[in-house]
Amino acid sequence: SRDENVCQTCHTCIDVCPANAIFNKKAKSGERVEKITHRPDACIYCGACAVACPVDAIDVRKTAILPEMEKKGPLEKKLIEVPAPEDALRTQLETDDDACLGCGNCVIVCPVNAFDNRELAAGYLYDMDEKAILGVKNGKISVVNQERCGGDGTCALICPVDAIRLVKKEVE
């Protein structure tokens, strides 16, 4: 949601939105200022607009991500590529830079990260905290600390373009 009383129509939110869900609505006859609006169906709830807004006029609720995860269904065993006992496998994340939008949804929903992930998801805190598993760097997702991944697959489920795969590989 956007607080129209605070918004300065600087267009920063439009510039940073990876889904092109925010746009200018032309001023109607008799109105002096254009309005910024969004398409909820296009929004991927990454929060980049809220982080970038210089006057804190935008509030993207983290809970809005959950319905999207529910649409994709529960984590299925088909993501496990190597059938073997659990103690003989290591969970690894594989990312597809070409597909990645840089939205940061995966960073935000990661249950291992015990801090507010929005700045990390927007690319502001990359490599600042080795506790993070994923971070956005130069507009693309990157694995910061593979060893901390718990393998729950939340990041892969939330990715709107399937740029993250959770695989199990034999321990060497």
pLDDT digits 0-9 by tens, 37-79? 778 777 777 777 777 778 878 777 644 444 444 444 443 333 3
Q: Which domain holds residue 73?
A: 68-170
Three-state SS for 140? strand
Note whether 99 and 157 are same-domain residues. Answer: yes
- CATH number of the domain that 157 lies in? 3.30.70.20
* pTM over cut 0.75: no
Note whether 22 and 41 are same-domain residues. Answer: yes
Number of domains in the chain: 2
Average pLDDT over residues 107-123: 61
Position 62 scores a pLDDT of 47
Cα distance between residue 143 and residue 46, in whole Å: 18
The burial class, CB within 10 Å (0-12 / 13-18 / 19+), for 74 is exposed
Note whether 99 and 46 are same-domain residues. Answer: no
Position 65 scores a pLDDT of 45
Note whether 129 and 166 are same-domain residues. Answer: yes
Residue 7 lies in a domain: no
On the question of pLDDT at 139 being above 70, the answer is yes
* Residue spans of beta strands (DSSP E) within the chain: 22-25, 35-38, 89-95, 134-137, 140-143, 164-170
115: left (phi over 0), alpha (psi -120 to 50) or beta: beta
Given a contact cutoff of 8 angstroms between Cβ atoms, the answer to whether 20 and 30 are in contact is no
